[in-house]
Chains A and B, each alone.
Chain A
Amino acid sequence: MSVRHALLALLSEGPKYGLQLREEFEDRTGDVWPLNVGQVYTTLQRLERDDLIEADSQAGTDTDDDKQKRFRITPAGESELGRWLRTPPDMSAPPRDELVMKILVAMRVPGTDVREIIQAHRRYLVELMQQWTRIKDDEAEYDLSLALVVDAELFRLDAVIRWLDSADGRIKRAGGTPPPPSPANVPRLRRRMGVTR
């Protein structure tokens, strides 16, 4: 989560004080991302240094104390915010998910029931989803931001469970035998995916 851009977004609505920004940030993210006040002021200082925000002179706040200052977004800040909103986050990296690694490793460990390990992870994820769904049931119906945050978590966890289900099915069809090592002349996954780092 970019606190920098979240603060720019809040300032795009009009000039605001630091404490006000912190409260609004937490409200808008359904209280799921707590933010400490030091982080807010450090980020504001950097935004001011980069000319993306400026002290609001109309508020009569000619002071060095950030807590007394009201900030406003500059035209450069507005264009930076627009650029950030339209830039997709980097999701192109190959999977290095710890859970994926555990299942791959489990297939190589003698005497390990991989499907039992898959089930342990599946149960944990479903329990987490139950907790998120309870939040949705209790509060999110009345709080759009929280509903969106909870949905994002639920879809993310659901995707992991779907991967576990798929892995479970593949391993069952393969008869639980570990795959043979790849022949040396088969290009490595990284190279096939065009990953250079």
Chain B
Amino acid sequence: MKRLLILACLAALPMLAAPQQFQLNLDSVAAKSSEHVDVSLNKATLQFAAKFLDADDADDAKVKKLIEGIEGIYVRHYKFKAAGTWTQADLEPVRTQLQGPGWSKIVGATSSEDGGSTEVWLHIAGAKNIGVAILAAEANSVTVVNIAGDIDLESLAKLGGHFGVPKVKPGDKPKKEE
């Protein structure tokens, strides 16, 4: 019996260290949105895309390094014509999955001015980060990101200001997307 238990634990180890991907079941949000962006890139596609990065370009080189440990990026971004179209309940299917073992919320920020909120969740196995979840919600938009694999969040944040991403200065109010 003890042997069986040890074997079961050993068999479960790779699953624990496996890149953490969750279901982006946001059909109710999608149904209410006026436009949405849906990006799902697995490791093979990321590696293929990386071949088209310019090694001589500093930004491209940063991206190449950043995606080295990533097994997949899955993004859902929804925009709404009017505020209040979506509710927190619409995000429950994702939040429920993040309540599962291994996931922990490292940042939760809510703006008292516009009610926008951002949550960053990590799935850590041992000393390794194997999954990231980002939930960014504003009155007129919702963004849910799942990065499976190891990614350096500091480097990811530094991509802000590149590729047309406006760099937010400390003290700036988060801008609402039109």
**Bound together:** no
